[in-house]
Amino acid sequence: MANFITRHIPNTVTCCNLFSGCIAVVMAYRGDYTAALGFIVLGAVFDFFDGMLARALQAYSPLGKELDSLADDVTFGVAPAMIVFSLFKEVRVPDFFSTWEDFFPYAAFLIAVFSALRLAKFNIDTRQTSSFIGVPTPANALFWGSLVVGAHDFLVSDSFNALCLLALVLLTSWLLVAEIPMFSLKFKNLSWRDNKVQFIFLLGCVPLILFLQVAGLAAVIIWYALLSLITQRKS
């Protein structure tokens, strides 16, 4: 009985991730971006612990692997896509594209599509055991959630428009599947020499969060991508 319960603990936590993602989708559809971001963050917490518990309890299973990817695409793919879908309805559409106004929001679902491609690619790519190729889906979801919550006033102002938002959707979708190495945030130990990039990243995050607050989380994701590009070029 104990083994049966232990074997299903990681999958139960994964289902909590999926449940959080479903609520995030509903909140995003309602335009409650803060709540949507909160449930995406909660899903990310569950996503972290399901893998850790699977390793600690030696409870790996093919079902768990497939379930994890499905849950991640909802929480980190569909939920941020729905946030952007709702945002598209608020942003200004240039006059010369007014006839396409009703179609712009559906471009947001490219985020969900490319997130699914990213997750499928990760599952079969043996190069991504200790680092990542392309932006991880949780990072992309946190970028969109924190950007919309923290910079909402700017995004719906006359200084921004639907074409800018579409360009950002296309860019982030491409970054999910781009052949760009991204460093892992896992620490090998506490030495500076072995974890220099991770320490530099964390030090850079502090002022971004302090000065930009919620939008600082989006800036942190940008900082992560830029630092990955810089370190890759040096190597």
The CATH number given to whatever domain includes residue 14 is: 1.20.120.1760
Question: What's the domain range around 132?
Answer: 2-181
Query: In the numeric block, which tokens belong to residue 117?
Result: 């491609």
Q: Does residue 125 fall inside a structural domain? A: yes
218 has a pLDDT exceeding 80: yes
Rounded to the nearest 10 degrees, what angle do helices 110-124 and 137-150 cross at? 150
Q: Does residue 212 fall inside a structural domain? A: no
Rounded Cα distance between 18 and 46, Å, is 9
Q: Does residue 69 fall inside a structural domain? A: yes
Q: Does residue 75 fall inside a structural domain? A: yes
pLDDT in tens, 158-178: 999 999 999 999 999 999 999
For residue 107, which of 156, 18, 169 has the smallest C-alpha distance?
169
For residue 78, which of 120, 25, 26, 40 has the smallest C-alpha distance?
25
For residue 111, which of 146, 68, 82, 139 has the smallest C-alpha distance?
82
Q: Does residue 192 fall inside a structural domain? A: no
| Domain count of the fold of the chain | 1
Residue 129's pLDDT is 60
For residue 144, which of 48, 223, 76 has the smallest C-alpha distance?
76
pLDDT in tens, 116-167: 999 998 888 777 666 688 899 999 999 999 999 999 999 999 999 999 999 9
Structure-derived torsion over alpha carbons of residues 143, 148, 149, 151, reported in degrees to the nearest 10: 100
Which residues does 139 contact at the CB level (< 8 Å), separation at least 6?
A: 221, 224
Rounded Cα distance between 8 and 2, Å, is 10
Q: Does residue 158 fall inside a structural domain? A: yes
CB 33 within 8 A of CB 41: no
Q: Does residue 232 fall inside a structural domain? A: no
Query: In the numeric block, which tokens belong to residue 191?
Result: 């030495």
Residue 2's pLDDT is 42
